[in-house]
Amino acid sequence: MQLLCQQAAEQYSSFRLPYQLDQVFLAADIADLKQFSGPDYPTVLGEGTNTIFLATQHKPVLRYLAKAKSQHTDTDHVLLHVEAGHNWHQLVNWTIEQQLWGLENLALIPGSVGAAPVQNIGAYGVELSDRCSYVDFYDWQRREVVRIPASECQFAYRDSIFKQQLQGRGVIVALGLTLSRQPLPVLNYPGLKELPKTASLQQIFETVIQIRQSKLPDYRQLPNCGSFFKNPVITERQFQLIHNNYPTLPGYPQADGVKVPAAWLIEQAGFKGVVVDNVGCYQKQPLVIVNYGLVDSAPLLALIATIRSTVLQRFAIELEPEVRLLNGAGKHHVPT
C-alpha cells in the first residue's frame, strides 16, 4: 500500500477546490485493506467526480485501485466481474467493442466502477441496478469480502444501501454485471427516441456521448460534479397545484409520486447561467454547478443556500444535494 501526504485536493475531486488532503492511502488489493483496523476507517473515494471537499481533509482518504475484469458466458448473456478501480467509461467502451449490450446508455459518466452502485448511477432510461447482479463489499469489521446480491442492495433513484446502512462500513471492491449478446435497445429518453428501433449498439453509444457533450460541461475545462441536486419526487396533488400556475412544469410519474426536473425549478428560480463570486449554474444545464475559480467553499455554500431557499419559497420543494459534500472531518455536510 502506498501512503501520500499533503496532497492537493484538486487532483482528487473534479470540483477542484484548492484544499489539501492530509493523507491518501492507495490500496492495491484486499491484503492492503486488511491493514486497517478500527475504530476509525478512512473516507473511501473513487475518482472524486461526485465528491466535493469543503475544507482540508484531516481524516485519511482511501482509493482502491484494483481494476481487473473477467467474464463468464452462456449463449446469450455475459456475466462480467469488474474490480472497483476500473474507470467506468473505459468499461462501457470495452463492452461496445465486445458487442455486449447493456451499458451503452451509461456512456461517458465520469468516475470509477466502484462508485457506480453507491448512488446507482443512471442516465437516458437505464440505471446501474438494471444491469447489476451483485456487489462485492469488503467489510471493515468482518475483515472479509461479502457478496451482496443486487436484490439486497436497496437500489433506488440515486440511492443504495451503500449510502445508507453500509455507509462508512467498508469498501466496494468489485461488481457483477449481466450483459447481453442480443440487442437490448432502450430508446425511450428524449434524444434517443428519434433513433430507429434497429439502431446499432455503436449508434446508441455515440448518440449518448453526443447528447452529454452538448449539454454537460467537461470537468477538465470547467470543474464540476455533474448534477448537483437530485430530481425531487413530489405528491400528485402538489404537482397539480404547481402545474396550475406553471403549465410548462414537466412531470414523470413514479411509484411514490411525480418526479420533477430540478433543472426546470432552478431555471424558473432565475439561476440558469448565473455566476456569483466565481461559482454558478451552467448555462446549458443549470443543475450542474461549476467552479469558475473558487478559492474556498464559502461562495459555493452560499449559492446552494440561495438556490434551495428560492426554490422552497417559490414551489415549496426542498432540493437535496446529489453530490457528496465533505467537511474537514470527513463528515457529510447537509445543507439546512
Residues carrying an active site annotation: 158, 227, 322
Residues 10-49 close enough to bind ligand EPU by CB under 6 A: none
Q: Residues 108-127: x/- map of binding to ligand EPU (CB under 6 A)?
A: ---------------xx---
Of 27, 84, 15, which Cα lies nearest the Cα of 54? 15
CB closer to ligand EPU, 140 vs 231:
231
If one asks whether residue 243 binds ligand EPU (CB under 6 A), the answer comes out as no
Contact of 43 with 5, CB cutoff 8 Å: no
CA atoms within 13 A on the CB side of 312: 10
- Candidate list 231, 289, 299, 330; residue touching ligand EPU; CB under 6 A: 231
If one asks whether residue 148 binds ligand EPU (CB under 6 A), the answer comes out as no
CB closer to ligand EPU, 261 vs 328:
261
- Candidate list 215, 243, 314, 333; residue touching ligand EPU; CB under 6 A: 215
Strand 275-276 with 257-259, pairing: unpaired
Stretch of 6-14, 144-152, 281-289, 291-299 lying at the interface with ligand EPU (CB under 6 A): 281-289
Q: In what order do the strands lie in the sheet with 288-291?
A: 224-227, 288-291, 279-281, 275-276
Residues 254-273 close enough to bind ligand EPU by CB under 6 A: 261, 263-264, 267, 272
Of 26, 35, 27, which Cα lies nearest the Cα of 140? 35
> Measured from the CB of residue 253, what is the shortest distance to ligand EPU in angstroms?
15
User: What does the alpha-carbon distance between residue 49 and residue 88 come to, in Å, rounded to a whole number?
Assistant: 11
> Measured from the CB of residue 230, what is the shortest distance to ligand EPU in angstroms?
5
If one asks whether residue 322 binds ligand EPU (CB under 6 A), the answer comes out as yes
What are the two backbone dihedrals, phi and then psi, of residue 180, each rounded to the nearest 5 degrees?
-125, 140
CA dist 121 to 15, 93, 242, Å?
18, 16, 29
Angle between helices 88-97 and 201-215 (to 10 degrees): 150
> Measured from the CB of residue 335, what is the shortest distance to ligand EPU in angstroms?
16
321, amino acid identity: P
Binding site for ligand EPU (CB under 6 A): 123-124, 215, 226-227, 230-231, 250, 261, 263-264, 267, 272, 285-287, 322
